[in-house]
Amino acid sequence: MEKVSAGSDARRAGIELLRILAMTGIVMSHFSFHGGFDFPPDKISVNRLWMQFFVILGKTASNIFVIISGYFLVTSKKFNLARLLRLWLQTVTYSAVLYFVFVLAGAEKFSLLDAVKSFMPISFEQWWFASAYFMLSLLAPFLNILLTSLDRKQYQLLLILLTFCWSVMPTLTTELLGSNDLLWFMYLYALAGYLRLYPPRNVKSRTCFLAAAAVFSFLAGSVVLFDLIGRRFPVIGENATVFSGEQKLPALLLSVLLFEAFNRIRVEKAAKFITVTASATFGVYLLHEDPYVRGFLWHRIFKNSLYQNSAMLIPYSIFAVVTVFLTGTVVELLRIRLFEKRYLPFLEKLARWANRLQNKLVSIDADAYRRNPHDKNGNNGTTAF
């Protein structure tokens, strides 16, 4: 099996730059989706098209984040407990702190159930992406064993089958065929793993960028076309972004092409700045998409819908997105510096202890099996793991 290194720091910075752009796209889509806009489906306008383009970027960006994770994690053979605990504590910190801030500020009434939920954000899906991503991270070591055990042809057949069922068919019929957020993330993880284990040869970043531009043009063109048709048939206009969903084939192609394009560029200048900024992107998501912050942010602070018919919507939306991204980045970097760096050594120590315990249990089980291979529990009743 041919494998490829993740690349130099300069090349890795290209991926980190894509991570920053992807989070910017997600903030843009939330500005549009949660902004309270109510454009008539039978009328077309520059502002409506601008908000629809924001949606396209956000759906693609969600795929990109999972693809990046799959690309770098697929070759890992160990269960990274420290990484999992770090992710869990990050979500709990934002969920609990933000809930109690809103309660103390009088913006929300205290509820015991809501307080419990704030300390269990993954279980109660406070953020859909965070819950699905946490489960993906939990399953990643087992997925790696499965994926790396396949030969190239088997891997290709698996991806062809899943792509047809979970992307091609949903694009043609709008039915997901039993898929959900976690299964889709697992598919993206497998797809990214294939790109890592069997990288495309003789493909240049320029080619990928041009192909991505062509796909984006198709998505943007379909939105304009459906909006025009929607002037006569409003139901068409209401679904103008139908090809932009995460599982739709055009959005999937755009995600993969952008990843491959940025994976092939080298960023020599400002690489450290890019890497540090990219480390805060998930915190930006947790902060601005928190269920209590979301409505307050877009309806009370920025008042998006007031600009629905304003000539200032385009510059104002850019200002709002940049402000949210920069604010979230500062908050997350402060959280890392003031809190995470203090408890991270403990998490790593706990992870090492858990790994030693796991190795010890596996060793005990192996010894028991060697003593009596026909007894699953060993001579002394030791349970097999």
**Other C-beta atoms within 10 Å of 115: how many?**
13
Structure confidence by residue, pLDDT tens digits, 249-294 = 999 999 999 999 999 988 877 788 999 999 999 999 999 999 999 9
Question: Quick one: pLDDT band at residue 372, thresholds 50, 70, 90?
Answer: low
SS3 107: coil
Question: Quick one: pLDDT band at residue 16, thresholds 50, 70, 90?
Answer: very high
| Start-to-end C-alpha separation, the chain | 29
**Other C-beta atoms within 10 Å of 198: how many?**
15
Tell me: pLDDT of 382 over 60: no
On average, the pLDDT of the chain sits at 88
Q: Out of 15-24, 116-125, 236-245, which region has the weakest mean confidence (pLDDT)?
A: 236-245
Q: Where are the domains of the chain?
A: 9-343
Q: What is the DSSP string of 2-68?
A: -------HHHHHHHHHHHHHHHHHHHHHHHHHTTT----TT---HHHHHHHHHHHHHHHHHHHHHHH
SS3 363: helix
pTM of the model: 0.88
Amino acid at 87: L
Structure confidence by residue, pLDDT tens digits, 296-328 = 999 999 999 999 999 999 999 999 999 999 999
Structure confidence by residue, pLDDT tens digits, 21-70 = 999 999 999 999 999 999 998 889 999 999 999 998 888 999 999 999 99
- CA dist 301 to 128, 183, 241, 305, 368, Å? 24, 36, 27, 11, 64
pLDDT: is 226 or 266 the higher one? 226
Q: How far apart are CA 209 and CA 324, in angstroms?
A: 27
